[in-house]
Amino acid sequence: MKILKQLLSALAALMIVLPALAAPSDFLVTTDWLEKNLNDPKLRLIEVSVNPGVFERGHIPGAWNVQWHTDLVDPVRRDIASQQNFEQLLRKAGVSNDSTVVLYGDTNNWFAAWGAWIFDVYRIKNVKLLDGGRKKWEAENRPMTPIVKADPPGNIKVGSADTSLRARLTDVLAVAEKKSPDALVDIRSADEYSGKVFAPAGVQELAVRAGHIPGAVNVPWGQAVAADGTFKSVEELKKIYGAVGIDGSKPIITYCRIGERSSHTWFALKKLLGYDVRNYDGSWTEYGNAVGVPVVNLAGTVWGGK
């Protein structure tokens, strides 16, 4: 733990010298740091990838596979995994109370960030993201293996869910109806925000209305990342979100289509900038289907029933 802290502070010092490299943070680790610390017995590495079959063909040595569509959710009703199931999952992954968990995944850590949000909801400490995720690790030709290392089960105790990290339909409706001063950040593409499309290209349309929640500002998630997939520096992030009035002066709610990509922005605002942020995991598939709620549809697209 001591070595870890020393390394982290050394890393932080390095980041101050080279501010363009990455955001200095207790919640991010670099690919370089991870490769040097792979054999740390306190480290538990967990991959949460969007695409099935990616982990099995090759992952960072020592990583454990978590499937977002069965492990992190309740597969029957729409909700995150229950406290009991989540504890079971983490123990199986070898996570103990004194572990440091590093999460990473494909497609810019979308679902790894979603995992980080669930870890936070269940009050688990020492959870970090691998900055740049799988993409950067692969691009740097670092070692991968298809072989799964079975760790002895961990002893983590998962606390009750922290509801203050999660926004519900009533919370965002209050913002839409100007009954709450919170700020809404819609992290979807400009075309989804304006209502030109119901869902991104290649994704099934799951909402019967297009557009966005009244009062939301649009900052597509990708604006928070640099070309190599890492998060932009704190200064840059502050500038990007500050430009649309998201400066941390009031509580923030992030949303997207199904609540996963918005976790990426949630992570940037909450963990890297330290703002008060909730993730609305119901997102547009809930709001865009809710009856009687106000919607802004700039494009005027009409749903045709197909």
Segment contacting other proteins by CB under 8 A, of 112-120, 141-149, 171-179, 255-263: 141-149
**Six token digits for residue 82:** 């229950």
Q: Which of 256, 258, 268, 277 is catalytic?
A: 256
b/e per residue 222-240 (b: at least 16 CB within 10 A): ebbbbeebbbbbbebbbee
What lies within 8 Å, CB to CB, of 197 at 6+ separation is 189, 191, 210, 301
Count the residues of the shown chain that bind other proteins, applying the rule CB under 8 A: 11
Is 26 a binder of other proteins (CB under 8 A)?
Answer: no
Is 148 a binder of other proteins (CB under 8 A)?
Answer: yes
Q: 3-state class of 181 per DSSP?
A: coil
Is 208 a binder of other proteins (CB under 8 A)?
Answer: no
Q: CB of 243: closest distance to other proteins in angstroms?
A: 30
By C-beta, is 56 or 74 nearer to other proteins?
A: 56
Query: Which one of 18, 39, 57, 84 is in contact with other proteins (CB under 8 A)?
Result: 57
Asked whether the beta carbons of 91 and 130 are under 8 A apart, the reply is no
Query: Which one of 41, 53, 152, 305 is in contact with other proteins (CB under 8 A)?
Result: 53
Query: Which one of 150, 227, 292, 305 is in contact with other proteins (CB under 8 A)?
Result: 150
Q: CB of 151: closest distance to other proteins in angstroms?
A: 12
Tell me which amino acid residue 300 is: G
Asked whether the beta carbons of 239 and 232 are under 8 A apart, the reply is no
Asked whether the beta carbons of 182 and 250 are under 8 A apart, the reply is yes
Q: Known catalytic residue: 256?
A: yes
**Six token digits for residue 296:** 């802004």
Is 52 a binder of other proteins (CB under 8 A)?
Answer: yes
Backbone angles phi, psi at 13, to 5 degrees: -60, -40
- Its sign, for the CA torsion 295, 110, 170, 203, is positive
As to burial, measured by CB atoms within 10 angstroms (0-12 exposed, 13-18 middle, 19+ buried), residue 267 is buried
Q: 3-state class of 92 per DSSP?
A: helix
Is 147 a binder of other proteins (CB under 8 A)?
Answer: yes
Query: Which one of 56, 74, 177, 235 is in contact with other proteins (CB under 8 A)?
Result: 56
Q: CB of 19: closest distance to other proteins in angstroms?
A: 27
Query: Which one of 18, 39, 84, 202 is in contact with other proteins (CB under 8 A)?
Result: 202
The CA-atom distances, in angstroms, between 229 and each of 70, 80, 134 are: 26, 26, 9
Segment contacting other proteins by CB under 8 A, of 20-28, 146-154, 187-195, 271-279: 146-154
Segment contacting other proteins by CB under 8 A, of 114-122, 126-134, 147-155, 247-255: 147-155
Binding site for other proteins (CB under 8 A): 52-53, 56-57, 146-148, 150, 201-202, 306
- Residue positions annotated with a catalytic role: 256
